[in-house]
Amino acid sequence: MVYFYDSDRITLGDPSYSGHTVYKKAKYRRPSGLFKKIIYKQNKHADLNFSRFEVGFSAMAGRFLLPDLTPKQALVRNRAGQIIGVASEHYCYAAHRREGLAEFYSINMDGEQKSDSDSKLPSAEPSKSQNNQAHFLGQFPVSSAKPKAPEDIPVYFLDQFPAGFFSTLWRSYKDGEIDFDMASLASVLTSSYTLEEDDLHKGNFGFYLVKKQGRMVVVFFKIDNDLMLADSVMSCYGSRITSWSHGDHAFDITVQDLLSFPKLIDSQNHYWPTSKRYLANPIDAKVYSGTDDINAFAELARSRSFRHAKWREFYKHTLIPPEIIKQSLMKAFDTNDAKDRAQLAVIQQAVVARQAKLRAVLFSIPAFRSFVRNLPTAEFESIQREILRGVDDENQALSETILADMKRHYYLCSRNGFADGDTPLHVAIRLKDYRHHETWQAFRQFAEVPNENGEKPLDVAVALAERSRQHNFPDLRQDPFFTIKSLLRAGAEKTDSYRALPRPMKESIANYRFGTDYLSRAKEISTGKELIDLMRDVGEDYRLSLKMRKELSVSCLKQFIRFQQKHRACEEILQTMKVALNGNDEQEPAPELQFIRQLRSRLWIVRQIRGLLGGTGTQVALNDLIDEELSRYQPSCFSLFTFFSCTKEEKTEPASDLGQELACQSSV
């Protein structure tokens, strides 16, 4: 459910400008009359969609992060009900939810020990347990403080300190002077990587100091999640000029990056703690310009406690069900609104695809498989609780799904379910998580790479097929017969194990057809709304890649025409479908069919120019089918719906594994 702040309850304060108008000292008057410190941001570029993205991404990031490592946000609306911006609570409230009014530490930013009268925390009292003795972090004195209210909790950001400050913290940790909350640090970094964060600069990377078990502990957090999904979503809405040369592999997940994490070699995140950005302003305090800081972050890869926390967080990310991702996005997108629902589906599917890639690469790493194999039962239960925290009753049943996935992973890691030398392509097939076009595009370079047993990815699919009974799998990702066919059509070379299959089985694979309920539903369509709803459901099916969903939409329309062309309402249904697909002078194209017009441009500069939506081959194919069928009827009002040039000749569609197998199957 979308939650709003009303603008007339906000006291603004002075504005600042950083891409859009921001009020950093705003306050929100709660219904109780008490005020809450917020940061209010007006719609970026006067476009409410950017506000929806930020609130949705923040809610989603909260599912991937450990609890309360990013502040809560809400959309802001005016009296007319229009969305005019975003309200973000100050992080002190999240710190309070994590720690309560515990004993914290305050840093003297002037480099000199402060007296109580100089303190920036007027209600904070020096801790008697510390005898008011100051600690030092580099040149900065640190004094103990006991806040009286959440607003008094001191929080800091890396850009407030000179270059090299993180390396100072890191040295203090290695010298045993302070402790790092490694779980929080790993959570911030891994979630930023998983969710394609492009804006993790020092101004968005924060920390606070709290006393735990007599020790000073550094806890890390992050803010401003509006540039997550930089590759899969936001590159179609706006990206930095320096990123326009990127292609579709700019945010690849690789074994090299996961092993050296947080040092990134392959992924091109713009602001990242181990990456200098030479085209950025060299005197900008938000840029990671200091070699000492960069080296300190890179050293985390050699820390045993960080590695454990890193693997744990990455593993949790792969286990978060799509339903929970959807629930978090519903804080910004109203599923009762067709446009919101379509936009939510785009984001959900992007995250599911990203999870699949992460899963495949992770389980190809022996060190990660060892981590899963040796994970204590209590840790499994802890991960499950984190994923399900705050989940509504409707989704509580997902606990069984998460538990089943964990058991399957443990079994595969413990019972030689993987082989040494398995590539991510091997692993995707073994996990029954082969997303066809998406998986092939991400890992096709491994198609002819054998593991140490001499097995190529096709051999793995063949072995699964030999152990399976050929039937209609409910989930295409799990169907080894279709996987074999898809691999061969994509260009994988036939292997000895495939050639050794009995001839009837090879013929069966060659003629294999994937069954789906969508085609059964298409046969029974009796109204235009039913056809549009069917297409919408196809577009929202996160189990299928975008290309597969588009191909399936064409097959569903063919199926409808084949079985309903003699029905008296067929002409009206097709005309309704055509308007929904293309729009006309009176209405825009139906949001339910947005996925059909969703572009799959590889170059970021093309995405910048064309955006997310435009004319596609699938749209042309659907129009041709409709026009050809309508031409059979009296050409009364047919011309009113012409949007694309059409011919009476049926166009030859490019061969595709799903399109050919689904086309007009009367047996389904």
Q: Are 38 and 26 in contact (CB under 8 A)?
A: yes
551 domain-assigned: yes
In terms of domains, do 537 and 616 share one? Answer: yes
Same domain, 523 and 652: yes
Average pLDDT rounded to a whole number, residues 113-128: 39
Residues 6+ apart with CB under 8 A from 151: 37, 90, 92
Q: Spell out the residues 6+ positions from residue 238 whose beta carbon is closer than 8 angstroms to its own.
A: 45, 608
For residue 139, being part of any structural domain is answered with no
pLDDT digit string (tens) for 277-300?
Answer: 755 566 688 999 889 999 999 999
d(CA 112, CA 168): 17
**Is 597 within the bounds of a domain?**
yes
Query: Cα dihedral sign for 601, 602, 604, 605?
Result: negative
80, 144, 148, 90: which is closest to 116 by C-alpha?
A: 144
- The verdict on 504 and 527 lying in the same domain is no
522 lies in the same domain as 654: yes
The neighbour count for residue 77, using CB atoms within 10 Å, is 18
Domain stops at, among 460, 490, 512: 512
Name every residue whose Cβ is closer than 8 Å to that of residue 552 and which is 6 or more positions away in sequence: 516, 518, 538, 544, 658, 662
Mean pLDDT (the chain) is 90
Residue 627 has pLDDT above 60, yes or no: yes
Give the integer Cα–Cα distance in Å for 519 and 661: 12
Tell me, yes or no, whether 500 and 521 share the same domain.
Answer: no
Point out the domain boundary residue: 58, 93, 128: 93
Q: Closest Cα to residue 548, out of 436, 446, 442, 386?
A: 436
pLDDT at 71 over 50: yes
At 656 the pLDDT is 52
pLDDT tens-place string over residues 135-175:
889 889 999 999 999 999 999 999 999 999 999 999 999 99
Residue 410: inside a domain:
no
Q: Hey, which residues does 156 pair with through a beta bridge?
A: 207
Give the C-alpha separation, 490 to 493, whole Å.
9
Q: Which of 182, 125, 212, 390 is nearest to 301 (CA)?
A: 182
The residue among 331, 383, 391, 388 whose CA lies nearest residue 58 is: 331
Provide the 10 A C-beta neighbour count for residue 643: 17
- Please name the residue that has the structure tokens 């930023």: 192
Residues 522 and 500 in one domain: no
Please tell me whether residues 501 and 577 are part of one structural domain: no
Question: H-helix or E-strand containing 35?
Answer: strand 35-42
Q: What is the pLDDT of residue 264?
A: 97
H helix or E strand, kind and range, residue 99? helix 91-99
Q: Please check whether residues 492 and 558 belong to one and the same domain.
A: no
Of 396 and 51, the structure prediction assigns the larger pLDDT to 51
8 Å CB contact between 538 and 556: yes
Residue-wise pLDDT tens digits, 629-654: 999 876 554 444 433 333 333 343 44
Q: What is the pLDDT of residue 136?
A: 85
Using DSSP, state whether 141 is helix, strand or coil: strand
pLDDT on residue 387: 96
Are 488 and 565 part of one and the same domain?
A: no
Helix (H) or strand (E) holding 42: strand 35-42
Please write the tens of the pLDDT for every residue from 234-260.
999 887 887 888 888 999 999 999 999
Q: Is residue 46 one of the residues assigned to a domain? A: yes
What is the pLDDT, as a whole number, of residue 397? 82
Residue 16 CA to residue 5 CA, distance in Å, equals: 21
In this structure, the answer to whether residues 532 and 620 fall within a common structural domain is yes
**In this structure, what is the dihedral angle of CA atoms 339, 343, 344, 347, given to the nearest 10 degrees?**
180
* pLDDT of the residue at 660: 52
Last residue of a domain, one of 496, 512, 528: 512
The region, left, alpha or beta by phi > 0 then psi within -120 to 50, assigned to residue 90 is beta
What is the spatial distance between Cα 73 and Cα 53, in angstroms, rounded to a whole number? Answer: 11
Mean pLDDT of 525-529: 96
Assess if residue 200 is contained within a domain: no
Q: What is the 3-state secondary structure (H, E, C) of 65-76?
A: CCCCCCCCEEEE
pLDDT band at 127 (very low <50, low <70, confident <90, very high): very low
> Considering its fold, how many domains does the chain have in total?
3
Q: Which domain holds residue 491?
A: 424-512
Place of tokens 């593993």: 315
Q: Which residues contact 419 (CB under 8 A, 6 or more apart)?
A: 426, 451, 452, 453, 455
CA 664/CA 654 separation, integer angstroms: 16
- By DSSP bridging, strand 205-212 and strand 156-157 are antiparallel
For residues 489 and 525, membership in a common domain is answered with no
Lowest mean pLDDT, pick from 255-264, 440-449, 594-603: 594-603
| More confident site: 341 or 645 | 341
**The model scores a pTM over 0.95:** no
DSSP structural state of residue 363: T
* DSSP-assigned states of every residue in 502-531: -HHHHHHHHT-----HHHHHHHT--SHHHH
Retrieve residue 365's tokens. Answer: 């790493």
409-441: pLDDT as tens digits: 999 999 889 999 999 999 999 999 999 999 999
Residues 539, 558, single domain; the answer is yes
Asked if residues 305 and 313 have their Cβ atoms less than 8 Å apart, the reply is no
pLDDT in tens, 390-399: 887 777 689 9
Query: Residue 125 pairs with which residues in a beta bridge?
Result: 146
Contact by Cβ (8 Å): 316, 310: no
Q: Which of 274, 300, 418 is nearest to 359 (CA)?
A: 418
- Mean pLDDT for the stretch of residues 127-133: 43
Residue 310 inside a domain? The answer is no
In a domain, 209, yes or no: no
Which secondary-structure segment (H or E) carries 208?
Answer: strand 205-212
Q: What would the two tokens of residue 115 be?
A: 């007296």
